[in-house]
Structure 1
């Protein structure tokens, strides 16, 4: 499994009469998060939700909204 993140990894591939040394790092596409880039979070402010995403891909409700997808109005008495 490839490690996701800013840290660089090194590897070597050996052929019959050669070797290839290389460094790499893996990063997720935009709006994808997690160890396998399988968590999706795209900020929105529409009828499907009202939230931003933190650096780990967790939804953070905009002010005045609550619920799993931040689609429920917060009412203060």
Structure 2
């Protein structure tokens, strides 16, 4: 995931957004550094045509914060 994020950042991707199933939320948040989106953040997605899937929680992660440091959020 770390290399994929680096490549996406180099190509101009600033934020990753994904719908996460509730039973794997800890994997996305603790292992991959995503955070749960606030209601106002989810409302912003309407402008971009983002779909919402039933029984999921919208999460996001900024690649900008990592892009300059080159550090990984992953734990070994």
TM-score (norm 2): 0.21
Structure with higher strand content: 1
Higher relative contact order (CA 8 A, sep 6+): 2
Structure (1 or 2) with the greater helix fraction: 2
